[in-house]
Structure 1
Amino acid sequence: MSLSVTPKRRLRLVLAAAAAALAGALGAVAVPEAALAQGCGAGTPHATVTGSSGAYVTREGSTTVYSGSDYRAAVQAGVDTISSGQRVAVMASGNIGASTITIQSGKTFEGCGMITVGNRSGRGAIEAINTTNVNIAYLKMSGNPYFGLRFSGTNGLKLGDIDLTLSGGLGIRFDRDAAWNYNVTMNDIYVSGAGSHAVETWNIDGFNITRVTARNVGESGLLIQNSRNGWVGTVDGNNVATGTGYATFRMANTNGRLASGSYSTNIWVDNVISRGGGRGIFCVSQSGGVVIKNVDLASNGNNSVLIENCYNVSIRGGTVNGGGEVRLAARTEFANNRDIWITMTVNNTSVRESPCGENTNWTISGNASVNVC
């Protein structure tokens, strides 16, 4: 059997080879490359979904709990049959249509086959609502969902290796008008082809997001709203938000405002990478409390960086090359920018502050034209 080597798979294989080499150098037992690169369904899951189109079988141990042609029913049977603390591995590929798979508290879900989905208005193809300790360790999804994954009211949610190769819709959504989420972890999120956002969050207190990669996405790569106390490793966008006001990385709607109302630093972002598309970084609508350690922005079709009515925002290094201007702006309905620190090398575009903010601090190198207060 031959396997196509996508850029993401190639990266995993390189990391697997490096890990194996390191293990050997340390005198440890080297783990086979395939085991490192492909962990989905490994070991002995408590339940499995196998088969192919028209003939699916769901087993819990040696007991058959579903046999038939309905792929969604087979998958949901696998989820429902396991208990909290147990794992279901969906090895089969199939199409659930415009319907929903629901995951309950304490369960681990592994989508090893390709799950093709349709558009169910206002709903996710996969959902976990008002749950604790749900773990979606692996997932491969294609299609045009309303939301690929939808969450609210979660505590201890974990998203592992998530690959959404879509033809429209929104990738991952945390609902706005719903209960808060606590202690959310996302490992490696890859979204391509979404018509809306790759990842849109609302109402999270405590999050760790290792990587979000967005390719050819209509709106934001990672959009964080009304959330606090978090860390993001890398946001990497290419052709994200073309022709819109969105951005590869966007913070909006009081993001970073603590429960006390203060904007003390509580969100840290290691890297933002953006090529083409719309904006690179956008902070808006009374957001802040954030440190972005490094940026690598080039050829953005809208502002490379736009900070508008934000408070305590620090960009501590990196480069902007071409694209739209770096801008501090403000709307009249919110308090002006305050406590802004920008340190970057900017070439082949401009830097502008209008109107003047409060306690804005610029350290700009490169050939950019600079018009700041």
Structure 2
Amino acid sequence: MARFSILTAVFALLTTVHGQCGSGTPDSRVTGSGSSFTATTGSRTVYSGSDYRAAIQSALDSISSGQRVSVIASGSIGANSITISSGKIFEGCGTINVGNKSGRGAIESLNTSGVQIPYLTMTGNPYFGLRFYGTRDLVLGKITMNLSGGLGIRFDRDAAANSNVKMDVINVTGAGSHAVETWNIDGLTINQVIARNVGESGLLLQKTTNARVGLVDGNNVAAGTGYATFRMANNNGQNSNGNYNTNVYIDKVVSRGGGRGIFCVSQSGGVVITSIDLANNGNNAILIENCYNVSIQGGTVNGGGEVRLAARSEFPNNRDISITLRVDNNSVRESPCGDNTNWTLTGNAAKNIC
């Protein structure tokens, strides 16, 4: 767990630098309640009125790169979007309630560099809570989303790639889709993703390389679906030269109930998962399907759906899979046989492996 400790230390340092939400002297503040909000930048009032979203956007638009907005007030932005441009620091100290704007994020930062969101508390049913693409040096801190639907954090698929993205602790409850979904990131560091009662994945990585994640923790995630607490898909971990040398490191995956615990699919891999703790998953506890260079180094699976290595005919078969686990009250099956599969199994599970 040494890597997890390093990640925790890194994000603790970021918290120390920023202090508590709204602390010190923010360059701009949004205050008020009900139907009366004020945005103040320095000694200047840049918005006064009933529109919470307009107050926040006015505050953001009034500051320069390197400056900070602290939204102290709670309110609702409706089915609208807040946009953060390069270099700005956005703190949501109050609770921001959001609506559903088709294809858009309630808060967005697109084709930007150096954006930071150290704190955010969001409620509502967004299309995407946070939406990104084309970002560089993006930092997300302590993000809490208590949702009634929608998707938590999304990096777009068919848009510019991202680099050097950092997230501290992401807590998502009640999303109808994924808690965190990435596409096209080179250089991703996450301390923790904690997903509760989420419809699809807790953490879904796609076409993401050079990733380091401390903890993925899901409870009642992906029930009745093919998703998982932790899922890798669509060539995740495939390096730019086409190989699958290890570049994705996950310290721990914890999953209870819901659907699958861990799912690797569609030519993904290049991953080491140091430890897992899976119990009573409603679908496969683990499914590895057409993946390459996947190592699970230890941990436990208790009950739930089987641990399975499988393959679809349209992709090359599994290759270089290494699994060390204790599996109880379950079964382990490898069909078809992969290329260079290595099992080290303990526990009472039934085994049908090559």
Superposition TM-score, scaled by structure 1 size: 0.90
Alignment of 1:47 with 2:28, yes or no, is yes
Amino acid at match of 2:322: W
Of the three residues 306, 311, 314, the one matched with 2:287 is 306
Alignment of 1:234 with 2:183, yes or no, is no
Alignment of 1:135 with 2:116, yes or no, is yes
Q: Deviations over 1:60-115 (max 9, x none)?
A: 11111100000000000111111000000000000000000000000000000000
**1:1-373 map, 5 Å:** 39-373=20-354
CA distance in 2, matches of 1:53, 1:63: 22
Amino acid at match of 2:122: M
CA distance in 2, matches of 1:372, 1:133: 48
Q: Unpaired runs of 5+ in structure 1?
A: 1-14, 20-34
Secondary structure at the aligned position of 2:60 is classed as helix
CA distance in 1, matches of 2:111, 2:164: 13
Task: Report deviation, 1:36.
Answer: 11
Q: Deviations over 1:185-212 (max 9, x none)?
A: 0000000000000000000000101000
8 Å CA contact 2:18–2:118 kept in 1: the answer is no
CA distance in 2, matches of 1:57, 1:83: 19
Q: Deviations over 1:205-260 (max 9, x none)?
A: 00101000000000000000011011000000000000000000000000000000
Cα RMSD between the aligned structures?
1.4
Q: Unpaired runs of 5+ in structure 2?
A: 1-7
CA distance in 1, matches of 2:223, 2:237: 26
CA distance in 1, matches of 2:188, 2:129: 20
CA distance in 1, matches of 2:175, 2:100: 12
Secondary structure at the aligned position of 1:272 is classed as strand
CA distance in 2, matches of 1:79, 1:271: 37
Task: Report deviation, 1:38.
Answer: 7.7
Aligned length: 341
Amino acid at match of 2:304: G
Q: Please name the residue that 2:3 is paired with.
A: none
Task: Report deviation, 1:334.
Answer: 0.1
Q: 1:348 to 1:228 in 2, by over 3 A?
A: same
8 Å CA contact 2:209–2:248 kept in 1: the answer is yes
Secondary structure at the aligned position of 2:65 is classed as coil
Which 4+ stretches in 1 moved above 3 angstroms? 35-38
CA distance in 2, matches of 1:206, 1:316: 23
Secondary structure at the aligned position of 1:203 is classed as strand
| Structure showing greater relative contact order (alpha-carbon pairs closer than 8 Å, 6 or more residues apart) | 2
Amino acid at match of 2:312: R
CA distance in 1, matches of 2:310, 2:18: 45
Secondary structure at the aligned position of 1:226 is classed as strand
Amino acid at match of 1:227: T
Amino acid at match of 1:238: N
